[in-house]
Amino acid sequence: MNRKNPPYLDFIHRELQLPQNQDNQLLVIDLFAGCGGFALGFEAAGFRTIGYEMEGDACATYRRNLRTDCHEMVLTPDTEFPENPVVIIGGPPCQPFSVSGHQRGLKDSRDGFPIFINAVKRYRPQIAIFENVRGMLFRNKTYFEEIAIALQTLDYFVEWDILTATDYGVPQRRQRLFCIAHQGGWKWPKKAYKSHPYTAGEALSELAFRASETAKFLTPSMDEYVKKYEKASKCVKPRDLHLDVPARTVTCRNLSAPTGDMLRIRLPDGRRRRLTVREGARLQSFPDWFEFQGTEKSQCQQIGNAVPPILAKALAMRVKECLEKRESASSENHPQPEQPIQLSFNFMKEFL
């Protein structure tokens, strides 16, 4: 047990409590909202969110747990929103990720980024944030450059970074790209847990060695398949869940599907079982009061696709500080803080 940290379940319960007073909360529009992981972090930081999501189960989860609505709908570049948001957030799906798929860039109708960029263009929020897989900076750097330039032409400063979830209190080695379009004064959240991250054991706690009547155990044939999988992939360490370190990245596939890469726990008697929905949710930093809707498979997909709420709150607190700093400077008629220099994309190509 890491004694530098408060108990994990107490930590996420405290950090993700929703404020009682909802008056004068700034509005955040949450596009491609999923089950509300991104929104939960922002609401815990004192914002009001409205979600937009096409999957019905995810919308139902969002509505059940957050103090706002989630509109079940397919977004288009022409979608209009009822109120002007101060912040826009989202995880746009990106179809042109493969070489074969990257044909029309921002003109690809299957892609969510034109929708996100058009919403920023129409409503001019003070800050816009999108999240995506880290590979976007490497396999699709040309397309990422296209997106960043589009945001820059709307008079935003654009910054990005790959954030590791363990650095912010999530017991999982998840890495994701976050890109921020802002008007000055942005600072990335501090890596408060970099040297002493929470572990999978701290997250699962009493659940780790339980085996309910509905537990899904690996069969002998599945054990043999996993053995061959690990040998073929040259795993130095078995890919069971090791409770003394943070977990591997939780994905839809390794949480819900019986694959060689599935997340599983080895019990003291040698049997191995797959993780439950609640265990996957804890590894993603959802508190136990957060209830998922839909089938087990749907719930696993919602969890795997979510932004970890604790990481989302770390970003939301920086958004809040940035907005307050600019509001204070404006109300006191002081000059705005010195603006960051926009990086040229020649530099960006060297960085990538």
Question: Token pair for residue 138?
Answer: 């490497």
Q: Do 312 and 41 form a contact (C-beta atoms < 8 A)?
A: yes
94 is known as an active-site residue: yes
Nearest to 117 by CA among 132, 106, 105, 104: 106
CA–CA dist 248, 270 (Å, integer)? 21
The one catalytic residue in 35, 59, 70, 94 is: 94
Catalytic residue numbers read 94
